[in-house]
Amino acid sequence: MRPLSDTLMRMTAFREAGAMIGSRAGSERLTELDGFGRNPGALDALAYVPENLARRAPLVVVLHGCTQSAAEYDLGSGWSELAEAAGFALLFPEQARANNLNLCFNWFEPGETRRGRGEAASIRQMIEAMIVAHDLDRRRVFVTGLSAGGAMANVLLASYPEVFAGGAVIAGLPFGAAASVPQAFDAMRGHGLAGDTALSNAIRKASPHKGPWPSVSVWHGGADHTVSPTNGEAVLAQWRGVHGLAADPSHVETDAGHTRRIWRDARGRAVLEHNLVAGMGHGVPLKPDGAAGGGVSGAYMLDVGLASTRAIAAGWGLIEAAPVAERLAEAPGPSRRPAPPRPKPLAPRPRPSEP
């Protein structure tokens, strides 16, 4: 096991960064969700339901990172702005300080991450409450999160794969990478991660589900010194094995330091992608300005000219797809480069008939 001193120093920096985030106004769009179930993980819940919500609308579950609140994460990422424009519902599970002093979801605690237990079960209950209350589409439930929230998003995809059509893991970790705080710190630095087969088997053993599996989008900064990019590759390998995909991607596109690799299944459906942003640290890639952007830059909300929230939503078919390098198409002057072809969205997995 590696020494913890450097990671503990980073956790102190997390708290200081959290204070900076907390000094900003959070999103005022969210409302509390009460009475959603037994709540074994003792989590809080907030939601956003736009006035133009259609019958059988999609639901996106959004998980904040350490030191953040749901409202702060929404403000930074721009999810509720997008939901208002496109007409889908949002659920924001929120950690309580009594559960974790740094407000991290406990993605590394077996009692919080297993099917039917702890925080994972609480979030599943929230999802069910939202679906019933707002007549949402069970076939179009998605989950995304940053860092500890990204790791918990992967926990939900593994523990309840039948619930989700797709997920996006941002600066997160593979399911089953740790079972204690020391192991979690080690895994964050990319040490002690299991091999590809063991990673995939962890998902297969997490539920009785045998497929079809959710599509997964992985995002990571190439200069992330908080959660090593090795973890993004491990998440990718974990789901590549579950989907039975080849090691080599079906398609690769690179633009302005952003490399996107896409894997397609035997039917030609894009079911897995990996996005690596060169030079980016730990956080959500944003493009706050312009019609194709959104969100507010700040701690862990990084203006790198890449609107990941929009790209993720487009990949799920919630909004019209836009080129990842939209900023190049918007550049003024005769030297403006043409926009690349629009990437096809990640295909939601086929669903069995509703019970």
* Encoded tokens for 257: 């330091």
Host domain of residue 175: 5-329
Tell whether 340 is covered by a domain.
Answer: no
Tell whether 347 is covered by a domain.
Answer: no
Tell whether 354 is covered by a domain.
Answer: no
pTM, two decimals, is 0.86
- Residue 27's pLDDT band, with cuts at 50, 70 and 90, is low
Which whole number is the average pLDDT over 296-319? 96
pLDDT in tens, 39-84: 999 999 999 999 989 889 999 999 999 999 999 999 999 999 999 9
Mean pLDDT for the chain? 87
Which whole number is the average pLDDT over 282-294? 91
147 is catalytic: yes
* Encoded tokens for 197: 């087969």
Tell whether 339 is covered by a domain.
Answer: no
Which whole number is the average pLDDT over 161-181? 98
Look at residue 28 in the predicted model and tell me its pLDDT.
81
Look at residue 293 in the predicted model and tell me its pLDDT.
87
Number of domains in the chain: 1
Look at residue 140 in the predicted model and tell me its pLDDT.
98
Tell whether 338 is covered by a domain.
Answer: no
Give one DSSP letter per residue of 236-271, joined into a string: HHHHHHHHT--SS-SEEEEETTEEEEEEE-TTS-EE
Give dist(CA 110, CA 170) in Å, integer. Answer: 21
**For residue 316, what is the domain's CATH number?**
3.40.50.1820
Q: Is 50 exceeded by the pLDDT of residue 131?
A: yes
User: Which one from 69, 80, 147, 217 is the annotated catalytic residue?
Assistant: 147
Tell whether 83 is covered by a domain.
Answer: yes
Tell whether 199 is covered by a domain.
Answer: yes
Q: Is 50 exceeded by the pLDDT of residue 342?
A: no
The total number of residues written for the chain in this structure: 355
Tell whether 243 is covered by a domain.
Answer: yes
